[in-house]
Amino acid sequence: MKIIIILLVIGIFLVLCGLAFINSGLFDVAATKPETEIVKWVLQTTKEKSVRSRSKDIAVPNLNDESLTMTGFNNYDQMCVGCHGAPGISPSVIGEGLNPEPPDLSELALHMPPEELFWITQNGIKMTGMPAFGPTHSDEELWAMVAFMQKLPDLSAEKYKSLKEESEKMPQEHNHGDHSH
Ligand code: HEC
């Protein structure tokens, strides 16, 4: 009985300390202030485990279909480059000012499975700059973006530029870039 009372008192004390810390304004929310290693580890691990457990049952369609490339490219070029950059293109000032930093997707696509790339693009990541594209895009478009991300590691800056030229030549109705529903 005594031990329960002691634990309860410690518990209440910790909650009060937490509330005092929140109200004190001591925590620095500035994006320019880097996280400590421990906070980084907590956030990174929470994200990884959350994405893995939520994406593991997603069925991956055939992503080698060449017809996905242009749809994927158009969406990527219009919605992702500003933050993540692309072969030969640096992120914009918005991408550079974000904390956490948007990663280079051509490196990431090498080791992240397609169902995780899909889940993140569809749902976004809370409390980071990563938006959810599921509310505005169909699954087919999202998978085309995943197929395109998987091509990024082998894509040269010249090839990216030539895709852009090809896309600009296409008639508007075949350009699925800014599709919204
Ligand atoms: C406004 C900026 C912004 C835009 C636009 C954006 N992202 Fe992100 N993205 C981020 C940030 C910031 C992160 C890092 C989140 C983190 O570290 O937890 C991220 C992370 C990701 C990740 C996961 C990386 C990881 O390490 O877990 C993927 C995949 C991704 N973005 C894909 C995309 C795709 C595809 C698009 C375009 C359709 C896109 N993003 C557009 C900011 C953006």
CA distance 87 to 115: 23
Cis peptide before 153 (omega within 30 of 0): no
| CB-CB contact of 49 with 125 (8 Å) | no
**How remote is the CA of residue 59 from the centroid of ligand 1, in Å?**
22
Enter the tokens of residue 91.
Answer: 């992120």
Mutate to test the pocket of ligand 1, among 55, 130, 140, 142 (most ligand atoms within 8 A of CB): 130
Phi-psi region of 59 (alpha: psi -120 to 50; beta: other; left: phi over 0): beta
| CB-CB contact of 27 with 21 (8 Å) | yes
**How remote is the CA of residue 32 from the centroid of ligand 1, in Å?**
18
**How remote is the CA of residue 115 from the centroid of ligand 1, in Å?**
15
Mutate to test the pocket of ligand 1, among 71, 76, 84, 98 (most ligand atoms within 8 A of CB): 84
Q: C-alpha distances in angstroms, 63 versus 69, 82, 115, 117, 166?
A: 9, 24, 11, 12, 21
What is the structure's pLDDT at 75?
96
What one-letter code names the amino acid at 164? K
What is the structure's pLDDT at 172?
61
**How remote is the CA of residue 131 from the centroid of ligand 1, in Å?**
7
| CB-CB contact of 112 with 47 (8 Å) | no
pLDDT < 70 regions, the chain: 172-181
86 lines ligand 1 (CB under 6 A): no
What is the structure's pLDDT at 6?
95
Tell me the per-residue pLDDT of 164-174, one tens digit each, with 9 for 90 and over.
999 998 876 54
Enter the tokens of residue 89.
Answer: 């293109």
